[in-house]
Amino acid sequence: MRKGELITIVAAVAVIGAFFMGFKLLGTSPEQPAEVESESPAIDALSPEVVSSDASSGGAGDEELSGEGSAPSANPEAKREAEKMRQAEELLGLGRQAFEKGDYESAVTSYNEALGVLPGGEETDQRRRVLEGHLAEAMVALARDYRQAGQNAKALEKLNQVIAVDPDNRQARQELAYLQAESPEEEPPSGGKVTVEFKLKNIIVPVVDFNNLTVGEAIDYLRRKTQELDEWETDPLKQGVNFVIRGGAATTRGVTLKLRNVPAYNILVYVCELSRLRFEIGEVADGLEAVILMPTGR
C-alpha cells in the first residue's frame, strides 16, 4: 500500500469517528432523524381530530350557557303575558307620577290603560286590586277638581263611576255629599221659616281671599257675609248664619283660600277640609240654630 493511500484511509476513519462521537454527545444516533421525519406526518394526521374535538366541545358549552339547542323554546303565550305585565307596571308608574304632580286626569288615563292591558286570571288579581284602588283615588281627586271649578256634572259622573265599583268608598261618598249640598234650593222652605242650610246654599259670596288665616278669622268673615247678603230675613237679629267653634279649633292657622262667586256652604266645606274639622247644624242656647264646627275625631 502506498504511503499516500494509507494517509487517505486514516483521515477517513478519523472523520467517521468524529461523526459518531458528535451524535453520542448529543444523546442521539444517526438513525433517529429518520424516525423524527416519520413522526411529523403522524402529528399532522391527528391535528384535524384535535381541532374537531375542540370545536365540538365549544359548541356544547355555548348551548348550555344560552339555553338553546336541545332546550325547548319558550311558550309564545307566556312571552305575551309577560310583555303585558311589563306594560301595566310601566303605566302604573306613569299614573303615580301624574298623581303626585296633581295631574289627576292623566293619572286616571294611565290607570285605566294599565287595567286594560293587565292579563286576567288569579295570578294578577292582587295587582288588579292595587290598580283599581289607585284609579278610585285619582277619580275622586279629579271629581274634587271639577267641583271646585264649578263643573258639577263632570264631578258627579266620576263619583258615580267610583261608587258603582266600590259602593262603600268613603272618599267618594264624602265628596258626593259635598257636591249634592252645593246645589242651591230654588225656593225657601214652606211655612215661612228660612233654615240655616237654605241660607248656606243660597247666599253667594262674591269674593273670598284668605291668606293663612285662623279658623276663627275665616268663620268671622263668613258670618259677616251671610248677614250682609241675607235677603230672606227682615229681623236684623235673625239675619245671617250663626257659627260655634268647639275644641279650641278657632286658633288653628293655615286657612288659605281664593274663590269667586261661591255659595257660603262651599266656603264652609273648604275651611273644614283645610283645618281637618267637621261641621253639623244643630241647636245651641235658647233653641238657636247654628253651624257647629269641631275636630274630626269628635
Q: Of residues 244 and 286, which shows the higher confidence score? A: 244
Q: Of residues 39 and 85, which shows the higher confidence score? A: 85
pLDDT of 13 reads 54
- Say how far apart CA 53 and CA 49 lie, in whole Å: 6
- Contact at 8 Å (CB) between 226 and 199? yes
Task: Note if the pTM is more than 0.75.
Answer: no
Q: Of residues 11 and 199, which shows the higher confidence score? A: 199
Please list the helix, strand and coil fractions of the chain in percent, rounded to the nearest 5, in that order.
65, 15, 20
Q: Using the predicted structure, report yes or no on whether residue 42 has a pLDDT greater than 60.
A: no
- Say how far apart CA 107 and CA 80 lie, in whole Å: 25
Q: Of residues 40 and 232, which shows the higher confidence score? A: 232
Instruction: Map out the domains of the chain with their CATH numbers.
Output: 3-65 (no CATH), 79-181 (1.25.40.10), 196-295 (3.55.50.10)
pLDDT of 234 reads 83
3-state secondary structure of 245: strand
pLDDT of 191 reads 59
Q: Confidence class of residue 38 from pLDDT cuts 50, 70 and 90? A: very low
Sign of the C-alpha dihedral, residues 226, 230, 232, 238? Answer: positive
Q: What does the pLDDT look like over 178-221, one tens digit per residue?
A: 777 666 555 666 556 788 988 998 898 999 999 999 999 999 99
Q: What does the pLDDT look like over 114-170, one tens digit per residue?
A: 989 888 888 888 888 999 999 999 999 999 998 888 888 788 888 888 887 887 888
- Say how far apart CA 229 and CA 204 lie, in whole Å: 8
